[in-house]
Amino acid sequence: MLSNGTKNRLTYRYIYLLIFGCLSLIFVVYYLQFVKPVLSVPKNFGKFRQVTTRRQNSSKSVEFLQSDIYRLYPEPEIDENNEIVWQVELFKPLRKKHGWNATQLKWLLDLLIKNLTDSNTNANISDPQTEFNSGRMEEQLLRCKIDLVSSSTDGCDPISLGSFPENLSNQLALKQTFKENNPVYNLSRMYWQPMSNLNSTELLECSKTSEGRRNLLHDALQRWIPFAAKHRIWWSLAFGSLIGSMRDGNIIPYDSDMDLFILGSDEQKIRQLATARKNITVGQLNLVTRPGPYCPVNPGKRMNCQGKTVQSLGDTCSFCGPLARLFMDYGNYIDLFPINIELRTNSEGFPVNFGYTIEEEEGKSVYEMSSLLPLSRCHMMGLEVPCPNHPGMLLERLYNKNWRIPYYKCNGKNGQWESV
């Protein structure tokens, strides 16, 4: 038989074990709500290419602009398959330089997972490379571990923002002529007004962008694709060119130029690569930059193709709206518009919006990152080019829900464009 002292000791031991078990259960229940994303294993876990780090020496990866805005500066790296991948250090700078605590970082992780993974219902997975990029983003984010005590962020950085569509710089179309890539150019059905009483042979086709202009724009874009890859410049179709690509893979028939997005963080690189105005050569790819900041209308700092300061838009070079302009010949150009990746916080300092702004609209709109990344593959005049992940979402925000419907349609009776 056990003595009373022994019974008391066993009783206390059971009580201690019970208290310890209850405390452990409370801790696990509380802690799991913070690490749930980390414990989730992606369906494609383990099959991704490892990224070979070749990071540039950068003074900043996150910049604090004002009370609720942080701007991100992605850097290009190369993976083992020689594909360019854009990544950004985010968690460590926010924790060490900007003093974010564990709760803020946890909110950030949830926000990134919502915007950059397959859980986004708007993700475009028709392109295997887009699906691959989305999976890689998901894998990296789900490995992120945030310590609630020390606020350490093991495995959280760098954040992947995806790559170009695969083999973009090796496509056959880069070696073919404009005629080979565009053997025929007829107006698509969507650009015609309904003409039930006319057959196709009786229709008068409206004037469209000349073959010569289209040829020059095609050749400029064709040379830009390997140039951007060589110098690791992120880009995508934008504005009217994106509409044309989504409609029929061509420029809008009454349009005269093309539009691309680039990263605002590449401005210094773009300026360093720019063609000096005295070296502009017809028949070669020229990259010309504006001399000063963005200015949509006069006054603004402008410089013409002769290198002289001017007060208004007088030639191909005296612009100050886009950051840069590509052209093979004067008057036929592709405009490069900067976008900036930004993180927005609420009044309590918690991250609530991860997206991008367009330079000419800064302070007005933040676009959903899911509409942009990861980049998808689309077509322009026979060339494969990068496009936003969900073009319809972006174009609806930029224009309206009827962006697919042309503003002008061809009247087949008189061969004139008429507004609809």
Q: Taking the chain, what is the end-to-end CA distance rounded to the nearest angstrom?
A: 100
**70 - beta bridge partners?**
64, 343
The owner of tokens 């052209």 is 327
H helices, E strands: number in the chain: 9, 21
* Residue 84, both tokens: 């360019």
- Smallest CA-to-CA distance from 338 within 358, 317, 368, 320 is with 358
Q: Dump pLDDT digits (tens) for 216-265.
A: 999 999 999 999 999 999 999 999 999 999 999 999 999 999 999 999 99
User: What are the residue ranges spanned by the domains of the chain?
Assistant: 66-163, 168-419
| Angle (CA) 107 109 114, round 5° | 95
Collapsing DSSP to helix, strand or coil, 94 comes out as: helix
Q: Which residues of the chain have pLDDT under 50?
A: 2, 28-58, 121-123, 125
302 is written with which tokens?
A: 């402008």
Show the tokens assigned to 182: 């565009």
Instruction: Map tokens 């963005």 to a residue.
Output: 294
CB 390 within 8 A of CB 122: yes
pLDDT attached to residue 267 = 96
pTM for the whole thing?
Answer: 0.84
Residue 77 CA to residue 84 CA, distance in Å, equals: 6
Instruction: Give the per-residue pLDDT at 31.
Output: 42
CA-based R_g, the chain, Å: 27
Summarised one tens digit per residue, pLDDT across range 189-199 is 999 998 766 67
Alpha-helical regions (H) of 185-235: 211-230
d(CA 152, CA 44): 26
Query: How far is 134 from 186, CA to CA, in rounded Å?
Result: 36
* Residue-by-residue DSSP string for 358-389: EGGGTTT--EEGGGTSS-EEEEETTEEEEE-S
Token pair belonging to 193: 């007004």
Pairing type for strands 258-263 and 332-345 reads: parallel
**Whole-angstrom distance, CA of residue 235 vs CA of residue 36:** 34
Euclidean distance between CA atoms 167 and 139, whole angstroms: 23
The phi-psi region of residue 368 (left if phi > 0; otherwise alpha if psi is between -120 and 50; otherwise beta) is: beta
Our measurement of the distance from residue 363's CA atom to the centroid of its chain's CA atoms, rounded to an integer in Å, reads: 19
